[in-house]
Amino acid sequence: MGYTISQKIIKSHLITGDMTPGCEIGLKIDRTLTQDATGTMAYLQFEAMGIDRVKTELSVAYIDHNTLQSGFENADDHRYIQTVAKKHGIFFSRPGNGICHQVNLERFDVPGKTLIGSDSHTPTAGGLGMLAFGAGGLDVAVAMGGGAYYITMPKMLGVKLVGSLAPNVSAKDVILEVLRKLTVKGGVGYIVEYFGDGVKSLSVPQRATITNMGAELGATTSIFPADDVTRAFLAAQGRENDFSPVFPDSDAVYDKTIQIDLSSLQPLAACPHSPDNVKSISELAGMKISQVCVGSCTNSSLSDMLTVAAMLKGKTVHPDVSLSISPGSKQVYEMMARCGALADIIAAGARVLECACGPCIGMGFSPKSAGISLRTFNRNFEGRSGTKDANVYLVSPETAIASALAGVITDPTTLEAPTINLPEKFIINDNLIDAPATEKDADGVTVERGPNIKPIPSGSVPAKDLSCKLVLKVGDNITTDHIMPAGAKILPYRSNVPKLSEFCFTVCDPGFPERAKATGGGIIIGGQNYGQGSSREHAALVPLYLGIKCVVAKSFARIHAANLINFGILPLTFENESDYDKFTEGDDIMIDGLYDAVKSADKLTLTDKTNGAVATLNITLTERQRNIILAGGLLAYTKNGGK
C-alpha cells in the first residue's frame, strides 16, 4: 500500500512514534512562524528555556495582528519581538510587510517541508505542498529550541476534485462546500488531502484559500500536491530552486474520501455564527447589507485583489455600504499600485486598510449595531467582529464586491466575470524583513522589554486529591474567542496575563474572572468540541492564572487540548456524555486520587459533593503528556530534560 503526501512527509520527518492512526508521533520541524498576538509569549517561553540560538533551518517572527497602536503596549511588544528575534537567530517581518500566512506563502513556504506556527491558519502553507500545523506558542518555542513537535498520528481524508470552477465561482466556495459537507467537527483526527484532476485547475493562491480555511474543519492540517502550478508560482517569486514535486503514491489509500465537482459549485456563504452554517447565495440574495470587508489570510492575494479591482473599475460602492480592502502583503499592495488596480479600488469608494489582519480579529472596522457584514474571512463567531449583535457572513471576493455595489447580497454569477492577468514575475523586495544578528554579534544585542510585558504564569504539580468549585459550565462548540476574546481593547494585553485575565470567558459570563479569583480557581465543564478556533494559548494560560486545575468536556479541539496540557491543566472527557447534565455551576466538586490517576490510570471519578452525582471521566494522555502534567507543564518538563 502506497503513501499519501502527508504520510510521505511524516515518514521523512518522524523522530519518535508509530505511524498508526491514534499513536503519538514526534516530528522534526524544519521551519516556524509566529505573529505578534502570540509571539511575545512564545519568545518569553523560548528565553526561559535558556537556549541561545534557534535550531530550526528558518524561523520568522511577524507583526500583523496588534498593529492598531492606540497606546504604548503594542509598539513595546513589537520592539521586544524585533530585538529578541535579532538576538536569537529569527527573521523579523516588520509591521506593514503583511499577514504572516500570505508573506510566508510568497517568500518562505517550501514543498515537502514541515512548518508549525503559533496561529491556527498556518495550514495555509499546505496550498504549496508543505505539511504545516497550527500550534500553541510554547510548542513553537520548543521546536525553535530543537525539540520535536508531537501530535496524534491522524487518519487521511481525501477530497477528490473533478472539473473546474465556473466564472465568478471561487476557491472560497470550494472550502465552504467542504464545510457544508463535513461541519466544523468533520475534520477532527484527519489530515485533509486534495487530489484529482480538478487540482490542476486551481492556482496556488486558490489552494491556499482552501487549506487556510480547512482549519475550521477541526482538521490537523490540509495539503495539496506540489506540481507544475506550484513550480510556476515559486518561479514567479524567484524561488524555483525551492520547488520539489510532492505527490501521493498511485496506490495511496485514504481512510475516508469525498468528491467535489468544481463545475457544479455555486457561490456560497457561511451564515452567522459558524463557518459550517452554509447556504447558497441564491437563497440569501436580496438581503440588505451595511458592510463588506475583503482581505484576511484567506483572501488577500494579488489574484484576489486584481479580481476586486476589475469588478469595481468604473463603478461606485453603494451609498449604504462601507467597503474595506486589506491587501495581504506589501508585495501585493505595491503591485496593485503599480498596475493601476489600487487606483480603481480607491476611485470606487473603498477604504483601503493596511496589510494586516485588521477586522478579521476585531482590530478596527467593526460593523454597526445589528449590522450585516459580508467578509472574505475565515471565522464568523459571535462578537469576533467587535460588535456583539452583528451578523457576519463569510463569502468569496466575487460575492463580496457584487454585493457591495448592489447594497444587497448578490449572486456574482449573474454578472460578467472579470478578466485578470497575473504577471509572470512578482516584485521582489524584502526590505521589511530583517535578518538576525550573526551568532558572533548576538551578544551585543539588547532585548528591550516594555512595562506591559509581565512574567509567564507557571503551572503546578497536580494535587493528590482535588476538592474545589465548578466555577463555570458552558455548552458545545465553545471557541477560543469565547475563552479569551480578541479585539482592539484586549489584544494589547497578550503579554500581560494578569490584565488579560479580566476578560477571560466574559463573552459567556461577565462574572467569571472575579468568581474564579474569589474561589481560588477550580474546574470548568464544557460540551462538544471545546476550544475550537484559533491556536491562541492564552485560552489555556489565562485560565491557569485564574486557578483552573482541569477542564471536563464531552470532546476537545486538538490544538486547545494540547495547549491545556502544555500549561499543566488536565483535559478530561466524560465516559458517558449524558453525565454532563448531572453537574451545576457553583457546586462543590471532588476528584479523589487525582495525582495517582494522572500517573497511571485511564479513568477517574468526578463527584459532585453538593448533589451527590458521580461521573466516570476518561484520561486520554500519552506517557509523555502524563509526565508534562506531573511536571506542572511543558516548560518545566523541557527545562528538566524531558523528565
Cβ atoms of 350 and 324 closer than 8 Å: yes
Q: Which helix (H) or strand (E) holds 394?
A: strand 391-394
Dist. CA 539–CA 38, nearest whole Å = 11
Instruction: Answer yes or no: 119 catalytic.
Output: yes
Instruction: Answer yes or no: 53 catalytic.
Output: no
Dist. CA 536–CA 34, nearest whole Å = 11
Instruction: Answer yes or no: 534 catalytic.
Output: yes
| Active-site position among 536, 558, 560, 626 | 536
Q: Which of 195, 291, 295, 299 is nearest to 249 (CA)?
A: 195
Dist. CA 234–CA 143, nearest whole Å = 26
* Residue 88 CB partners (closer than 8 Å, separation 6+): 43, 46, 47, 51, 52, 53, 54, 144, 436, 442
Burial class (CB in 10 A: 0-12, 13-18, 19+), 264: exposed
Instruction: Answer yes or no: 536 catalytic.
Output: yes
| Active-site position among 6, 31, 36, 64 | 64
Q: Quick one: cell of 577?
A: 456524555
Instruction: Answer yes or no: 65 catalytic.
Output: yes
| Active-site position among 65, 88, 318, 375 | 65
Instruction: Answer yes or no: 64 catalytic.
Output: yes
Dist. CA 78–CA 96, nearest whole Å = 12
Dist. CA 442–CA 453, nearest whole Å = 22
Q: Which of 26, 190, 139, 152 is nearest to 621 (CA)?
A: 152
CB atoms under 10 Å from CB of 96, counted, come to 15
Which phi and psi angles does 396 have, rounded to 5°? -80, 160
* Residue 4 CB partners (closer than 8 Å, separation 6+): 156, 158, 191, 193, 248, 249, 252, 253, 254
245 vs 87, 242, 546, 603, CA distance in Å? 35, 10, 49, 46
| Active-site position among 30, 76, 77, 119 | 119
Amino acid at 333: Y
Q: Which of 15, 48, 52 is nearest to 30 (CA)?
A: 15
| Active-site position among 78, 121, 375, 379 | 379
Q: Which of 304, 289, 510 is nearest to 392 (CA)?
A: 289
Strands (E), 3-65: 14-17, 24-27, 31-35, 58-62
State the catalytic residues: 64-65, 119, 379, 534, 536
